[in-house]
Amino acid sequence: MVDSRYVIAVHGGAGTISSSPPESEAPYHQGLKAALAAGAAVLEGGGSALDAVQAAVESLEDCPLFNAGRGSVYTADAHHEMDAALMEGRHLAAGAVAGVHHVRNPVALARSVMVSSGHVLMVGAGAECFAQQMGLAMEPEAYFHTDERLAQLRHVQSGGLDLLAAAAVPEAPLQENGKIGTVGAVARDCHGHLAAAVSTGGLTGKRPGRVGDSAVIGAGIYANDLSCAVVTTGTGEHFIRAVAAYDVHARMVYRGQTLQEAAPDVVFGELRRMGGRGGLIAVDALGDVRMPFNTSGMYRGLQRQGEPACTAIFHEDGQAGFRP
């Protein structure tokens, strides 16, 4: 049965997330709920799913707790390189950016690429120049600095932690440094249209110029009104090779699977066999939402029209009003 209500879901990254007292987890729940509120406000006014997911991701980009926008991690040379993308399911329009430095909200730049550039993907200095032409907010490098992110870089550089290696080991200790950072949102609006948006600061200590799955349409993001809207978070190289987001769509369209079947098949099947770690959030044309992940945790949240927002971090939080 089709649920005609709007629905929006968000995530703030997955990985070997530290188990901590509730009071230290509270800011993450607040950040997720703020993002849900931003997106739901658009949908409540009859706005589009595309506008809603952009609003939600911009909220997460502005929160220094998450690895996107202001909270972006450092590259090996102690700079920030951000990627973002969005896609809408009605016309399959998409926009993406990669390797940008000074753009306050990379997802807004991805929207401009989709609407005004005539392209799908722009990178580096050319993308930043385009952002200035579009009048988007730009920030100095200091805006993106947080002491915690710099400490994570120094820890990695000292040999204390290899984030990709830590994320790939199921038995790795729970620690915030092991979080695989991306933020994302998917939504179905009251008109039945789907959209997805994603943004990331990349991987702590990554080689300058490395681009993960977030900016790759079909890998880290996909939306099609015929099936679903998907955004992923995890070890990006694996998600690219698995074409993970599109694979959820393909399983639904070509195999006849439901979202309930397709989403976990991707996360726990081929992706995991490749050594990929992480998860995804997805909503289908019927309004069903799925959030599978094969890591210790995934920051995530959900809001349906007429219902309170709910958020969760760990597997055992799955009773927080939605199915993990």
Each residue's pLDDT tens digit, 219-267? 999 999 999 999 999 999 999 999 999 999 999 999 999 999 999 999 9
What is the domain count for the chain?
Answer: 1
- Within a domain: 278: yes
pLDDT score for 23:
77
Q: Which residues of the chain are under the pLDDT cut of 70?
A: 1-3, 16, 18-20, 160-180, 318-324
Whole-number Å distance between alpha carbons of 21 and 36:
23
The answer as to whether 201 is a domain residue is yes
Asked whether the whole model's pTM tops 0.85, one would answer yes
What is the spatial distance between Cα 227 and Cα 17, in angstroms, rounded to a whole number?
A: 31
Is the CB of residue 40 less than 8 Å from the CB of residue 53? no
Whether 45 is in a domain gets the answer: yes
Number of Cα atoms under 13 Å in the Cβ half of residue 182: 30
**What distances in angstroms separate CA 57 from CA 22, 36, 51, 116, 143, one per listed residue?**
24, 9, 10, 20, 18
Supply the range of the domain harboring residue 284.
7-319
Give the CATH number for residue 112.
Answer: 3.60.20.30
pLDDT, tens digit, for every residue of 107-134? 999 999 999 999 999 999 999 999 999 9
Does the residue 324 lie in any domain? no
CA dist list (Å): 223 to 79, 246, 276: 31, 8, 22
> Is residue 246 in some structural domain?
yes
Catalytic residue ranges: 182
* Residue 2 placed within a domain: no
Which pLDDT does position 323 carry in this prediction? Answer: 44
Cα(231)–Cα(24) distance, integer angstroms: 26
User: Does 160 reside within a domain?
Assistant: yes
